[in-house]
Amino acid sequence: MIIVALDPPQNVDVEKWIKIRYDELKEYVQGFKIGVPAIIRVGLEGLSKIFKDYSGLLIADLKLADIGDVMALTASIVGDYGFNAVIAHAFVGYSQAVDELSKTCEKKGLKLILVVSMSHRGSEEFIDKHLESFVEIAKRVGSWGLVAPATRPLIIKRVRELIGSEVKILSPGIGVQGAEPGTAICYGADYEIVGRAITHSENVKQSALKIIENQKQRVAKCRG
Amino acid sequence: MIIVALDPPQNVDVEKWIKIRYDELKEYVQGFKIGVPAIIRVGLEGLSKIFKDYSGLLIADLKLADIGDVMALTASIVGDYGFNAVIAHAFVGYSQAVDELSKTCEKKGLKLILVVSMSHRGSEEFIDKHLESFVEIAKRVGSWGLVAPATRPLIIKRVRELIGSEVKILSPGIGVQGAEPGTAICYGADYEIVGRAITHSENVKQSALKIIENQKQRVAKCRG
């Protein structure tokens, strides 16, 4: 399963850029993830218009990392504009932080997705050291999903062992960042998040279909 | 010195709410800090109009915590809309994260402010354990400022010892969160960040002047 990260380059009409990709891809992928740059450039109203009829996953990738009431308020706002999932960091802790956020997500019917590891090198400096504690927080608040990087698949494997089978694992790092489609799923992820390899290609639909096919083949092989 | 955190409540006309408080307070305080909820509700264009003639500190408190290129792009965008400072987390690490962000901040003339400790209880779970390493990252990238909480003044004292006198310390937690005006400065902060105690009061100007006066008195005493 594929989630498309819509991270527009600078110097484009962002709203148009997103709408074109959404229209081309919505039938083939399971969801879209919108990051902070696109959210602050287009605004929530513009985004809510583009995605108003969408029934797939629509993730506000704000990487929330604030005190509880600020994160809760932010989640509540993006929920009002049609997002059905929100990404936050476990790093800010349970108490007066993820705890409060999770209650608001439950109230608003938002899927909470917690980052437990990231795809860049700096993730090893602090974040990865607390992997097990972050997964504990996710369990404690009943998080819908976790983010763990396709670039380091052994981390995905470990996270899957820790969290059990109910919680979704979303895995960025496929394509331009280096991981092959299917890798993360073979190691235990549910969704692979693909950005530029699809969105920045000349034919986004063709690129998506190719990645979906590659993903299927690799998964068939590793499960075979 | 005071920075006003403009965190509007739900169910208000956010743009108007911010504009009124900006007009009332701009002569008396050293800067304003706008958080994620207000940024995504008003949008950058609306905010840039309100603050277009302002020469004080204008901080985009996005608590950035993403991979380097996403944080750098975000900082670049808020810089284009008139913000002159941006808050990011040190916990995402130096490599491919704060390192890249700091280069963009330098290029765009943006003040980089790194969170090294937070005011909520959850900060003790993970963040505070890495305080010294976070301050090291701030030194390494030449961060303009650091965030450390007024609610735990001994942390401010420790951060000041570690960072030396050149780097600014900004301290939230004054007022509703429990710390008295002046406390953080007595322990080594440069700016106290005050939100609801000013912005949610009936007479915001009067409340601000009272807090400024209380701050002065306490500082005079502790330095006495």
Tens-digit pLDDT profile for residues B24-63:
999 999 999 999 999 999 989 999 999 999 999 999 999 9
pLDDT of residue B69: 92
Give me the percent of chain B exceeding a pLDDT of 90. Answer: 92
Q: What is the ipTM of this complex?
A: 0.95
Mutation target vs A (from B6, B11, B34, B41; most A CBs, 10 A cutoff): B41
Burial readout A33-47 (b: 16 or more C-beta within 10 A, e: otherwise): bbbbbbbbbbbbebb
Contact yes or no for B121 and A63 at CB 8 A = no
pLDDT of residue A134: 98
Marked catalytic residue, from B23, B49, B63, B221: B63
Annotated binding-site residue? B195: yes
The DSSP letter of residue A170 is E
**CB-side neighbour CA atoms (13 Å) of B17:** 21
Contact yes or no for B70 and A95 at CB 8 A = no
Q: How many Å separate Cα A89 from the centre of its chain? A: 12
Contact B150, B156 (CB under 8 A): yes
Q: Which DSSP helix (H) or strand (E) runs through A190?
A: none
Q: Which residue's entry shows tokens 């985004």?
A: A47
d(CA A97, CA B164): 30
Annotated binding-site residue? A7: yes
pLDDT of residue B176: 75
d(CA B131, CA B141): 16
d(CA A104, CA A86): 11
Annotated binding-site residue? B43: no
Q: Does residue B213 belong to the interface with chain A, where contact is any CB pair within 8 Å? A: no
pLDDT of residue B193: 96
A101-137: pLDDT as tens digits: 999 999 999 999 999 999 999 999 999 999 999 999 9
pLDDT of residue B109: 97
User: A57-64 and A31-35 as β-strands: parallel, antiparallel, unpaired?
Assistant: parallel
Residue B178 has pLDDT above 90, yes or no: no
Give me the percent of chain A exceeding a pLDDT of 70. Answer: 100
Phi-psi region of B43 (alpha: psi -120 to 50; beta: other; left: phi over 0): left
Chain B, nearest residue to A66 by Cα: B63
pLDDT of residue B179: 85
Closest CA to B69 of B33, B102, B34: B102
Residues of chain A contacting B77 with CB distance shorter than 8 Å:
37, 40-41
Q: Does residue A95 belong to the interface with chain B, where contact is any CB pair within 8 Å? A: yes
The answer for residues whose C-beta is within 8 angstroms of residue A205's C-beta and 6 or more apart is A24, A25, A28
Contact B202, B224 (CB under 8 A): no
**Model confidence at B76, in pLDDT bands (50, 70, 90)?**
very high
pLDDT of residue B21: 97
d(CA A193, CA A179): 11
Q: Does residue B116 belong to the interface with chain A, where contact is any CB pair within 8 Å? A: no
Contact A158, A134 (CB under 8 A): no
Cα Rg, chain A, nearest whole Å = 17
The answer for residues whose C-beta is within 8 angstroms of residue A64's C-beta and 6 or more apart is A71, A74, A75, A86, A87, A88, A89, A101, B36, B63
Marked catalytic residue, from A19, A63, A111, A139: A63
**Model confidence at B174, in pLDDT bands (50, 70, 90)?**
confident
Marked catalytic residue, from B26, B66, B111, B210: B66
Marked catalytic residue, from A19, A66, A103, A205: A66
d(CA B20, CA B6): 11
d(CA A39, CA A61): 9
Phi-psi region of B173 (alpha: psi -120 to 50; beta: other; left: phi over 0): left
Tell me which residues of chain B, numbers 65 to 84, contact chain A at a CB-CB cutoff of 8 Å: 65-68, 70, 73-74, 76-78
CB pairs under 8 A between A and B: 139
d(CA A15, CA A21): 10
Residues of chain A contacting B44 with CB distance shorter than 8 Å:
40-41
Write down the architecture of domain A2-223 according to CATH.
Answer: Alpha-Beta Barrel (3.20)
Residues of chain A contacting B76 with CB distance shorter than 8 Å:
10
Annotated binding-site residue? B52: no
Q: What is the DSSP string of A13-48?
A: -HHHHHHHHHHHHTTTSSEEEEEHHHHHHH-HHHHH
Contact yes or no for B133 and A124 at CB 8 A = no
| 3-class secondary-structure state, position A174 | strand
Q: Does residue B152 belong to the interface with chain A, where contact is any CB pair within 8 Å? A: no
Residue A48 has pLDDT above 80, yes or no: yes
How far off is chain A from B37, nearest CA to CA, in Å?
Answer: 5
pLDDT of residue A223: 87
Contact B91, B130 (CB under 8 A): yes
Residue B195 has pLDDT above 90, yes or no: yes
Domain map (residue ranges) of chain B? 2-223
